[in-house]
Each structure stands twice: as C-alpha cells, then as structure tokens.
Amino acid sequence: MPELPELEVVREVLQRRVVDQTIEAVQSIGGGSAILVRALTQQRLEEAVTGARIAAIDRRGKFLIFTLDPAVQDSRLFLAINFKLTGRLQLALPQDKRLPKTHLIFLLSNGDQLRYVDQRTMGQLYLAADLTQVPDYTTLGLEPFDVSPEEFRERLKPYRGEIKGVLTRGEFIAGIGNAYADEILWAARLHPYRKRTALTPEEIDRLYAAMRSVLRAAIEKVRAEMGEAIHLEPRAFMAVHLKSGEPCPRCGAPISVVSANQRLTNFCRTCQPGGLIKGM
C-alpha cells in the first residue's frame, strides 16, 4: 500500500511532469472506469475531465488529489485517488508496454500517458466538485510534519488500544500505514502491541521523534530509488518491515512476524520488548 513517503515523491514527480498539461482523452480498459470511479458530481469521468487542464497535484494523507480546470465549466473539479492496497500510477509513453491490470489511461497534451494500475482493483478514484464529499477525507488528522509535540500528545489521549493500530488510524495522524508503522515503532524501540495507555511520557516523545525522522529519511530514500518510475514502491531499505527472520539491524536478533487482522507486523523482540504475542 502506498504510504506518505511514496505518495509524496509521486506528487513531486507529477508536479513537474503533468501540471499544466491538458487531458486530451481517457481510455477505460476492461470496465475500469465503472469499477473504480466514484463520480460524486454525477458526471462520467471521461466526459468531465476530457479537455481539462491539470492545475495542481496535492497529497493529503494517503490521497493524491488532482485539481482540474474543466474546459466546459467555470468551477474546478477534483480527482481524489485512494490507492488502497495495490493501486499505482505509471507515467509512460504511448509505445510503452502496459503493466498488467492497467485500468485507466489519461492521454496528456505533451504526449505522455498517466496510467492507473491496480492488481486487486481495490482503489477508488473520486470525481468531486468539493473534497468534503470524498469519504474519509474530512476526518483525516494532522500530517506528521504539521503536528507539534504537544499536539501529538493531546491527540493520543483518546486512544487506548495497541499503539500500532493507533498509528495507522488516519484520523489520528494522516498518511501512515502498516509498513511505516513497523519502521517507526522499531526506531522508537516500542513493541507494536503495547497499549497506548501503558506508554510513558518519555516513550511518547520517542515515538513522535521517530515518526518524523523515519518518514523524512524514507522520503529521501524513495526519491533516490524511485526516480520518475512512480509505479515502483522501493522498500528494500526498510529495517524490519517484511524482513521476517533476518537479523535486526540494531542488535542482530531475528526479526519476528505476527499475522493478525489480514496484516503482517514485523518487529524485534529484543529491541522492542513488552509483548507476549506468539510469532516467528
């Protein structure tokens, strides 16, 4: 699932490559438009965005937002993409081979194509005149780089569950998913299944610092490894996520894995003590 670091780099690339381009046509492959697009304006995507200028690209949490200036109406439209588990964008030339499960192709005025690819067809593309219409958008919490230490502590107080689950709640802090929650908690030396109510003030401060440092470092690494191949998801640099059985980069103990609620959690039992969860 693309999270804040990947989507921030995708936003940067698209800002350079597609802003001020016009969408000349949209191709829907295998019914992709009907399956993936939620037209909250009651317009068909193809009709609404053909001829529109891409005015801006923004990111909010795990949404990527295209601001569009339509050719046939005065008010702006928004295309908000929630990629879910396997959604990706690809920048390509017309002659480039399509990736498997390419569902939508936006033909741009500079000759490039912006393709939406989704192996499990789980993503959602919302066409809206107002972003408040987009489900889950208005409930998003602050961005990790916009929250102060004091705000972070206050926002944590209502939550009582396991700290990994809290980190991945978009209404708490926007943009963190399963993978980067593992990395943040490893950096903070906190067991993922510790209850929030069991954390000391010093541990909460460590969590806040780790959140910001891990995400900033990841953006730099993703930027270097992804380049402009925005369909990629570079994660080989991660310390523990999907590294089950490998030595912990800090202490050398094998990385553990727990599978629960259709989600894998990786952590180091030596560096992140405090849980009795069985795992490998």
Residue 146 has pLDDT above 70, yes or no: yes
The whole-number pLDDT of residue 77 equals 97
Same domain as 260, residue 164: yes
Helix, strand, coil in percent for the chain, rounding step 5? 30, 25, 45
Convert the pLDDT of each residue in 192-237 to its tens digit: 999 999 999 999 999 999 999 999 999 999 999 999 999 999 999 9
In the residue annotation, 263 being an active-site residue is answered as: yes
Same domain as 185, residue 103: no
In the residue annotation, 62 being an active-site residue is answered as: yes
Point out the catalytic residue in the list 2, 5, 70, 192: 2
Same domain as 103, residue 11: yes
Same domain as 168, residue 108: no
pLDDT category at 275 given cuts 50, 70, 90 is: low
Point out the catalytic residue in the list 5, 6, 62, 194: 62
The whole-number pLDDT of residue 96 equals 97
Same domain as 252, residue 180: yes
Question: What values do phi and psi take at 177, rounded to 5?
Answer: -120, -160
The whole-number pLDDT of residue 279 equals 40
In the residue annotation, 183 being an active-site residue is answered as: no
CB-based contact 46:28 (threshold 8 Å)? yes
Within-domain flag for 63: yes
The whole-number pLDDT of residue 262 equals 76
The whole-number pLDDT of residue 260 equals 80
Same domain as 165, residue 120: no
Tell me how far apart the alpha carbons of residues 135 and 70 are, in angstroms, rounded to a whole number.
23
Within-domain flag for 115: yes
The whole-number pLDDT of residue 263 equals 87
The whole-number pLDDT of residue 277 equals 46
Point out the catalytic residue in the list 3, 6, 162, 183: 3
Residues 6+ apart with CB under 8 A from 167: 173, 176, 181, 184, 185, 211
- Continuous H helices in the chain: 4-17, 32-36, 45-49, 149-156, 163-167, 178-188, 201-226
184: CATH: 1.10.8.50
Provide the percentage of residues in the chain whose pLDDT is more than 90. 92
CB-based contact 20:33 (threshold 8 Å)? no
Within-domain flag for 223: yes
Point out the catalytic residue in the list 160, 247, 263, 273: 263
Residue 278 has pLDDT above 90, yes or no: no
List 64's β-bridge partners, or say none: 59, 81
Structural domain boundaries enclosing 168: 149-267
In the residue annotation, 2 being an active-site residue is answered as: yes
- pTM of the complete model: 0.95
Q: What is the mean pLDDT of the chain?
A: 95
Domain boundary among 133, 161, 192: 133
pLDDT category at 280 given cuts 50, 70, 90 is: very low
